[in-house]
Chain A
Amino acid sequence: MGQTIIEKILSSHCGQTACANEIVVAQVDYVMGQDGTAPLAINAFIEMGGKEVFDREKVAFVIDHSAPSPNEGVSALHKLMREFTREKGFRLYDIGEGVCHQLVPESGEVGPGSLVIGADSHTCTYGALNAFSTGVGSTDLAGGLISGKMWFKVPETVKFVCNGTLPPGVFSKDLILYLIGDVTADGATYMAAEYVGEAITALSQEARFTIANMAIEMGAKAGLMEADEKTFAWLSRFTKRKFTPVTADRDAVYTKILEYDVSNLEPQVARPHKVDNVVPVSEVAGKPIQQAVLGTCTNGRLEDLRIAAGILANRKIHRDVRLIVAPASRRVFLDAMAEGIIQTLVESGAAVVTPGCGPCVGTHNGVPSDGETVISTANRNFKGRMGNSSAEIFLASPATVAASALTGKITDPREFFV
């Protein structure tokens, strides 16, 4: 019987043929924790009797969720992480280096066929590199740090076949929002998603990360894509390592195969307070906004900033709007400076903050006020997500966010792409 991508990756890491619904204990290639999850994992590591991490080169902690620290409580937890990584001798990405889900791919340690666990739900992002990567909690993270292993129920796979060509002004963010709206927030729970088809192949590597990143928003354990020359070109900027691509067998068994034609897709927006509450932008266009956020592990990469800068060049954002920009990593920040993108964004009125997660996750860097409306490139719009349960959050592409920042209301960006 043929195998799906995830069955093959799990098989190669557990020493047996892994079929859907079996339980396996697999070797992991990389283990990551961030400042919201690592402190609890350090406690669990010590309680479990852990002495050393399984491999210092295959482990990293990242301080990104509240970076730099906004208060003394957070500072104490950051200090704990700094001391633990120094003592155990493994990599800490400290404040300003970026969001974990940009840093792990940039490390060059993860590529086609890799198996990664991260104590952050959006660890599924690296599926865009043809890796099986998935989010776990702090106690699982501690177990992974000690043993280099993790138990998994081998998931069934749902295949999304995306045919056609995305129209101008419509991006991978619009596509994944549409797919989540279609299958709903638990449409792929316990399952792996495979995203295939000419619309996926046509995307840049950076745009593909956006889709894999949001697999968790349909409940999926992983969001996988095949590797191609774009994948390897992207990886070659960060590593000389050779990876072998993993493809699904022709007779692989899928729980569901869903087909879409993206050729007439409109820009999409997720309305408050659920990610699957998705409508075409035309249904909410005109709604006044007070804050716009460009960044996050979903849409804080160079290409995302470039698209926004293209719309904002030689223009000023609306006087009633704050535009907050958080590049996904220091490298993205530097590349965007070299290209003049940061100059353009700042001249338009944007406030650039430290690369990190703050504005998405409600810790600092732009908590909205009561009754305010925010449009963001992030992946979650839960009530209170940005630190105020009386604010409303709409999710959209970098283009829609930039266009909306310009006009002061939710705006279809396609007029900027004619």
Chain B
Amino acid sequence: MQLNGKAHKFGNDVNTDYIISGKYKFKTLDMKELAKHVMEDLDPEFYGKIKAGDFIAGGTNFGCGSSREQAPLAIKYANISAVLAKSFARIFYRNAINTGLPVVECDTDLIDQGDELNVDLAAGIITNKTKGVTIPVKPLPRVMIKILNDGGLVPHFKKFGGFNFD
């Protein structure tokens, strides 16, 4: 899958409260509504700046904090096509894969705000078109590739009736 869009840069330790605040997420399961508040405490205008297909580029420990799955879902429903970061907090990482939001570990120092990127998930290559550089990607664990290929954990369970990694 080829993804193309602009990068929106964030710093280290972007926690799930910043991604979607607790004051919204307990009230509704309407992810389109939650998406309007994505990253609100870091940038109140953020939702309005997103063009469909854009990327979030974070630093280290992206998605730390609570286990709320509304975090990757709010990002996904805000039309962000993938999150790139130097490292991810583990629960967010699992949740993203389970809900079908691509997450990519790579050196985001090679990406600046507004850079145009091409992300080839199958080949594991990011091209920073603005800077003319390619950025290597840390491969996903085998189990996660399997879940992503099935379209997330729900389709995986539908298909196999449970975990099946053989």
Determine if chain A interacts with chain B. Answer: yes
Q: Which residues of A contact B (CB under 8 A)?
A: 23, 25, 35-37, 39-40, 43-44, 47-50, 65-66, 71, 73-74, 77, 119-121, 123, 135-140, 142-143, 146-147, 149-151, 153, 185-186, 189-190, 219, 221, 274, 361-363, 367, 380, 382-385, 387, 389
Distance from B111 Cβ to chain A, minimum over Cβ atoms (Å)? 20
Contact mask for chain B residues 71-99; partner A; CB cutoff 8 A; 1 contact, 0 none = 00100000000000001011100110011
In the complex the two chains form, is B143's CB within 8 Å of A23's CB? yes
In the complex the two chains form, is B26's CB within 8 Å of A35's CB? yes
In the complex the two chains form, is B69's CB within 8 Å of A138's CB? yes
Q: How far is the CA of A43 from the CA of B18 in the complex (A)?
A: 24
In the complex the two chains form, is B67's CB within 8 Å of A25's CB? no
Contact mask for chain B residues 9-42; partner A; CB cutoff 8 A; 1 contact, 0 none = 0000101011001110111110000000000110
Knowing A23-B141, A36-B22 are in contact, say whether A139-B95 is a contact too (CB < 8 A): yes
Chain B residues touching A, range: 35 or more
CB-CB under 8 A from B161, the residues of chain A are 49
In the complex the two chains form, is A77's CB within 8 Å of B162's CB? no
CB-CB under 8 A from B104, the residues of chain A are none
CB within 8 A of B64: which of A35, A43, A185? A185
In the complex the two chains form, is A147's CB within 8 Å of B70's CB? no
Q: How far is the CA of A37 from the CA of B99 in the complex (A)?
A: 14
CB-CB under 8 A from A186, the residues of chain B are 13, 60-61, 64, 87, 89
In the complex the two chains form, is A190's CB within 8 Å of B163's CB? no
Identify the stretch in B49-57, B118-126, B130-138, B150-158 within 8 Å (CB) of chain A at 4 or more residues: B150-158
- State the majority secondary structure of interface residues on B: loop
CB-CB under 8 A from B99, the residues of chain A are 137, 139
CB within 8 A of B94: which of A36, A37, A73, A140? A140
In the complex the two chains form, is A221's CB within 8 Å of B165's CB? no
CB within 8 A of B142: which of A23, A66, A274, A385? A23
- For the complex of A and B, list the 5 residue pairs with the smallest distance between their C-beta atoms, beginning with the closest: A73-B27, A137-B95, A186-B61, A137-B69, A48-B157
CB-CB under 8 A from B73, the residues of chain A are 40
Q: CB-nearest residue of chain A relative to B71? A: A137
**B68 in the interface, Cβ–Cβ < 8 Å?**
yes
Knowing A221-B90, A382-B18 are in contact, say whether A135-B67 is a contact too (CB < 8 A): yes
**B65 in the interface, Cβ–Cβ < 8 Å?**
yes
Q: List 8 A-B contacts (CB under 8 A).
A: A74-B26, A137-B94, A139-B152, A143-B163, A146-B162, A149-B163, A362-B22, A383-B41
In the complex the two chains form, is A382's CB within 8 Å of B91's CB? no
In the complex the two chains form, is A121's CB within 8 Å of B29's CB? no
In the complex, given contacts A48-B158, A120-B67, A137-B95, what are 15 additional A-B residue pairs having Cβ atoms less than 8 angstroms apart?
Answer: A36-B25, A37-B69, A40-B29, A40-B73, A44-B154, A49-B157, A77-B28, A121-B65, A137-B67, A139-B95, A151-B143, A186-B64, A219-B90, A380-B17, A387-B22
In the complex the two chains form, is A43's CB within 8 Å of B157's CB? no
Knowing A119-B67, A185-B61 are in contact, say whether A143-B157 is a contact too (CB < 8 A): yes
Q: How far is the CA of A219 from the CA of B157 in the complex (A)?
A: 28
Q: Which one of B13, B64, B153, B165 has the highest number of Cβ atoms from chain A below 10 Å of its Cβ?
A: B64
Q: CB-nearest residue of chain A relative to B13? A: A185
Q: How far is the CA of A125 from the CA of B56 in the complex (A)?
A: 32
Q: How far is the CA of A174 from the CA of B17 in the complex (A)?
A: 24
In the complex the two chains form, is A274's CB within 8 Å of B66's CB? no
Distance from A240 Cβ to chain B, minimum over Cβ atoms (Å)? 32
Distance from A150 Cβ to chain B, minimum over Cβ atoms (Å)? 8
In the complex the two chains form, is A136's CB within 8 Å of B87's CB? no
Distance from B8 Cβ to chain A, minimum over Cβ atoms (Å)? 18
Distance from B71 Cβ to chain A, minimum over Cβ atoms (Å)? 9
CB-CB under 8 A from B17, the residues of chain A are 362, 380, 382-385
Q: CB-nearest residue of chain B relative to A43? A: B29
Distance from A353 Cβ to chain B, minimum over Cβ atoms (Å)? 16
CB-CB under 8 A from A23, the residues of chain B are 141-143, 165
Distance from A242 Cβ to chain B, minimum over Cβ atoms (Å)? 30
Q: CB-nearest residue of chain B relative to A187? A: B61
Knowing A71-B27, A77-B26 are in contact, say whether A137-B18 is a contact too (CB < 8 A): no
